[in-house]
Chains A and B, each alone.
Chain A
């Protein structure tokens, strides 16, 4: 994902207006565009602010459900954050699922990416087909993947639960990891590996001491992507989860019976943690460059 890439230090043109010196920055670039852009950003942030505000909203008549109208300020939902039935366990289920799916898909996706980069079509039969599969996998609508997986599990009589969730999540993460890692691998200097071999390192040592450190940024980006995809997946999970509902599936199911207010507490806290991590990684990235 482009955000994780530190800004390319392209020779002195960063921050310069696009036009050459003969054209002064237009008022468009100075006033209209920034104002507009900040409006769009405000629009993107607005619902998150609403979520945060509603996480402090009192409920009506003692029923622990979110209500549309504002009934007064309370921190009760933060104090009782883990008392919504099923919500906390669904959250931990999602975390476990995302960690497992990330671990498996990162390993498999990285290996696939390396194979795709290293071998030419003649050495690697079906390379073109695999690339097409990756592409379709990423671009296909989730509902088709979810529906077809359900068809598979039903046809082979596989009970739906945590296992099917892991199978499905790894499936849709592999392609993203492979593509992300491959993007970082192009331009990888093979001669360093050859140097390691010449100096007597075995294939395993070479991989661990030379290859892995070099491709690590790409692998991490891929793993991050897999984690984000898995933890927030709703459509596919809804089809294959059976009775063990991950976090998004549980929330969706609760929209029919009444949403526990703790949902917005979880949303707000996850958002805060995520943003803090992202901002600090930005800050670290800037310091390094």
Chain B
């Protein structure tokens, strides 16, 4: 099984090495690491970058909630009213993916920039005040994350809603359910697996993202991904970087574990 070998060597082994690196002490100048069984590195790093962890959790969650609210109605509409154009509308949801991730984040910088034509225009028609600025704030980062990961939310939601048995809905109406009741008591509960999958598939990448923060957030409120990138690629302190990555991995694994507990690990393929 060459694929298993590949996955074990380049996915499982690196994770183990990362764990062991987090117990080492590295010399950033020479890049040499020695095993010191320094269990203290983990709590130390977490303590050091507590704010960044919370910022990441907050931005990730905010972007995911924005995405869920934004995409539930459209997923519902495509599933129930899409008709023959379903595939076309699904492709429209995927449209951002036809542009490179870094480029589309850059374009948001252009849109949100105070000297860009969009904000200049809004200012011109007196929709925003002259000193209004978004770029370099947390809102810009959340907006970028929400835009970039929206398809990850919309598609699982669509799959879940599409799968709802229409006969159950009809039964609800036959039993004199109002539209609101049918929605609250049939559609919403039956789409919970999709909501859960959408949350996980959006939150985990958004939580670990650092491109949006770097490009749109400027120097304000750093996310943990930025810290990890910098400790690895700028300072070269592999022990500290590994310790932080281990924490990110553990946080994600809790989500992944909850997911496979509730929905089973195989169900993810239905939402891809």
Contact = CB atoms under 8 A, between A and B. Distances in A.
B117 A232 contact: no
A136 B253 contact: yes
Interface in B165-221: 166, 169-170, 173-174, 179, 200-201, 204-205, 207-211, 214-215
Interface string A156-197: 000000000001101100111011101100000000000000
Given A167-B10, A271-B99, A234 B211 contact: yes
Interface size class of A (residues with CB under 8 A): 35 or more
A232 B150 contact: no
Given A147-B228, A148-B245, A139 B256 contact: yes
Interface string A243-274: 00001100110010001000110110011001
Contact of A152 (B17, B103, B201, B225): B17
Interface residues of B, number: 105
A139 B95 contact: no
Contacts of A212: none
Interface in B1-23: 1-4, 6-8, 10-15, 17-18, 21
18 contacts: A1-B155, A3-B87, A19-B179, A33-B77, A40-B70, A45-B95, A48-B107, A50-B110, A50-B111, A141-B207, A141-B252, A143-B228, A144-B249, A150-B238, A154-B238, A179-B272, A266-B103, A274-B98
Interface of B: 1-4, 6-8, 10-15, 17-18, 21, 31, 33, 70-71, 73-74, 76-78, 80-84, 86-104, 106-108, 110-111, 113, 115-118, 120, 147, 150, 155, 158-159, 166, 169-170, 173-174, 179, 200-201, 204-205, 207-211, 214-215, 225, 228-229, 232-233, 238, 241-242, 245, 248-249, 252-253, 255-256, 259-260, 265-266, 268-270, 272
Interface of A: 1-3, 6-7, 13-15, 17-20, 22-23, 26, 28-29, 33-34, 36-37, 40-41, 43-48, 50-51, 54, 66, 68-70, 108-109, 111-112, 115, 130-145, 147-152, 154-155, 167-168, 170-171, 174-176, 178-180, 182-183, 225, 228, 231-232, 234-235, 238-239, 247-248, 251-252, 255, 259, 263-264, 266-267, 270-271, 274-275, 278-279, 282, 285-286
